[in-house]
Amino acid sequence: MTLRGFQPVNEDAPVSHISYFEADTFARWSGHRLPTEFEWEAVAAKSLMDENLANSRVLRPIPAKTSKNGVAQLFGDIWEWTCSPYAAYLGFKPHLGVTSEYNGKFMSGQYILRGGSCFTFTPAAHIRPTYRNFFYPHQRWQFWVSDWEAMRE
């Protein structure tokens, strides 16, 4: 089921709407593991930015088009789970006031995702190797409400 109604399953497209636990279980079952956020970032810094973002208007994950050194689709299509818990970078000091409360509330019990999704807007602001997203491990979100609101405009 997509925003355009029922669509046939594309078995070559990346799997989406899975929790951290499901991603980790599949990685282990297939003899691999989820990368740390720093491993993901190091590979992404050397990878192609061949992304399927919201501005493409495809609005669903699609099969990889390109590969560089066996790595493809790091940007766009789906947010990618890492095995790194969401925590402040070394030396981070929260601002006083509302921002401090926001950071404290969300830097607890969540994991880092990287790469953006097919619903992510503003690639210049959000899609870069250093951009971090975070979800609770049980969540299966593909996009944020703000992404959907931007699409409707």
The residue with tokens 């590969």 is 67
What pLDDT, on a 0 to 100 scale, did the predictor assign at position 147?
40
pTM for the whole structure: 0.80
State the fold for domain 20-152: paralog of FGE (formylglycine-generating enzyme) (3.90.1580)
Find the Cα–Cα–Cα–Cα dihedral 44, 31, 112, 89, rounded to 10°.
-80
C-alpha closest to that of 79 among 131, 148, 2, 39: 131
Q: Kindly tell me the sign of the dihedral angle through the C-alpha atoms of 22, 24, 129, 74.
A: negative
Query: What is the arithmetic mean of pLDDT over 83-103?
Result: 79
Q: Does residue 111 register a pLDDT over 60?
A: yes
Mean pLDDT calculated for residue range 11-32: 90
- The overall average pLDDT reported for the chain is 80
The whole-number average pLDDT for the span 9-21 is 87
